[in-house]
Amino acid sequence: MSKARATIGINGRPLPILPPERDARVWAKLVRVMFYTPGFLAMLLLKAGEPEGFGITVELLMLSSAAAIVGGMFIGTQSAKNAGSDVVSKVGTWCGSLVLELLAAVPLLCAIPALFHQLAHSRLLHAVAPGTIDITLGASELLPMVAILPFMVYQLAGFGTLDYIVTRPVNWAINIGILSLIIASYIANREGAYGMEKRLGSTLVVAMALTVLYGVLKLKQMQAVYDSQCPPKAAKMAA
């Protein structure tokens, strides 16, 4: 069993509540998935979709892929078990997970519904030959949006890294904002209001970037306070 963290510092005040230790190897594997998947979907859309209906979908997919690389860089700095580790190397995995959650997963979830809508109505994929019937998907087009629900549960039920950085009301407000912007962006894409879709998508990306920036700095600050008020014990010298 892992040793419980101290909750009171040497000054008698409560210590910051840091996220639990996470397996960096699992997050590193997720980096590979998040790098290749959006890129493949973007190429599929460029090949089979209609350029006038892309909106901001391709940009969101490319952002998701690029953010996965940055997240992997953060995770690669983790070295909490090494004797010479500093504050930055102790929060690498947490910072990387925050980047993957907000700058890789969120743009991907925002792009998927519009991407599926474009593919479902692609004239290239649904070319009507004489004597054939073009079948409409109807409400089944909304199925890709179901993936947003478990992500909301992940964020709001305490699994997400953001839950340790901001208060619960702020966490709820941020995630409700994410859900609202994704839905509004999808509706704008369906109605052909691509200018509005780009503004909504850009607002979402800017908000996530600012949240990640704040989160990374906050995690670093929390770890620094924790180390100053609960300094690690020096390793015993071998006889």
For range 100-114, the mean pLDDT: 91
For range 197-212, the mean pLDDT: 94
Query: Would you state the structure tokens that stand for residue 85, as one six-digit string?
Result: 């580790």
Distance CA 41, CA 36 (A): 9
| Per-residue confidence band for 208, with pLDDT thresholds at 50, 70 and 90 | very high
Report the pLDDT value the prediction gives residue 10, as an integer from 0 to 100: 75
Backbone dihedral angles phi then psi of residue 14, each to the nearest 5 degrees: -60, 140
How many whole angstroms from its chain centre is CA 147?
A: 13
Distance CA 106, CA 112 (A): 10
Report the pLDDT value the prediction gives residue 135, as an integer from 0 to 100: 53
Window from 44-48, 56-60, 161-165, 220-224 with minimum mean pLDDT: 44-48
Model-level pTM? 0.83
Beta bridge mates, 8: 14
Report the pLDDT value the prediction gives residue 121, as an integer from 0 to 100: 64
91: DSSP letter: S
| Per-residue confidence band for 68, with pLDDT thresholds at 50, 70 and 90 | very high
Backbone dihedral angles phi then psi of residue 233, each to the nearest 5 degrees: -70, 140
Query: Would you state the structure tokens that stand for residue 100, as one six-digit string?
Result: 């993957």
